[in-house]
Amino acid sequence: MDSSSLLGQLIEAFRCLPGVGPKSAQRMAFHLLERDREGGVQLSSVLQAAMERIGRCSVCRDLTEEEVCRICANDRRDSSLLCVVESPSDVLAIEQATGFQGRYFVLMGRLSPLDGVGPAELGLDELASRLRDNPPEEMIIATNPTVEGEATAYYLQRMAQKSGVGVSRISHGVPLGGELEFTDQSTIAHAFSSRQLVAEK
């Protein structure tokens, strides 16, 4: 495709989207041009507004176009529970799946010294002042169970303990609907070692 034409530029621009290769980008461009110009115009204007106006919540660091996000601004949310997650999509996943009515803190990443991501980049100073000035009863750690997520969880746990805040961690193990046979070894090993007693003998 001639990349100096507007069509070529459009196809190239779609490649900034995750999971979009040359063929999908072509398909997207032709679809909008041939069948959905209105949708294309709408996408372009919403995208522009979003890129310009969406920033971070000054309280929880989640993405929002307001100074303070709707969850933080909602007086009815329970301030005694604080859930710490890695990214805004985790907030969305928890909101959609659970009835959690507490508050969040979004790290926007995980500790990864080799990539230059330390406590400061994750806003852990802000979290520390929040734990000190406005301590919750319980801090729920919901980082991902990867090596870096675990290291981050350990760091968070020590922070909370220093501030005298209770800490919990969401459970990990065999997913519901999953089968042992098709579950990876480390998950099975973890599920086995963190088994819970359901009846005393």
DSSP-derived 3-state class of residue 95: helix
Q: Is position 33 an interface residue for its own copies (rule: CB under 8 A)?
A: yes
Instruction: Name the residue among 170, 155, 57 with its Cα closest to residue 111.
Output: 155
Range in contact with its own copies (rule: CB under 8 A) among 61-69, 75-83, 160-168, 191-199: 61-69
**DSSP summary character for residue 182:** G
Q: 43 vs 147, which CB is nearer to its own copies?
A: 43
Out of 9, 112, 144, 187, point to the residue binding its own copies (CB under 8 A): 9
Q: Is position 67 an interface residue for its own copies (rule: CB under 8 A)?
A: no
Q: What is the DSSP string of 112-157?
A: BGGGTB-TTTTTHHHHHHHHHHS--SEEEE---SSHHHHHHHHHHH
Range in contact with its own copies (rule: CB under 8 A) among 32-40, 152-160, 181-189, 192-200: 32-40
Structure tokens that stand for 169 in this block? 């961690």
Residues lying near its own copies in the complex (CB under 8 A): 1-2, 5-7, 9-10, 13-14, 16-19, 24, 26-34, 36-37, 39-54, 63-65, 70, 87-89, 92, 96, 108
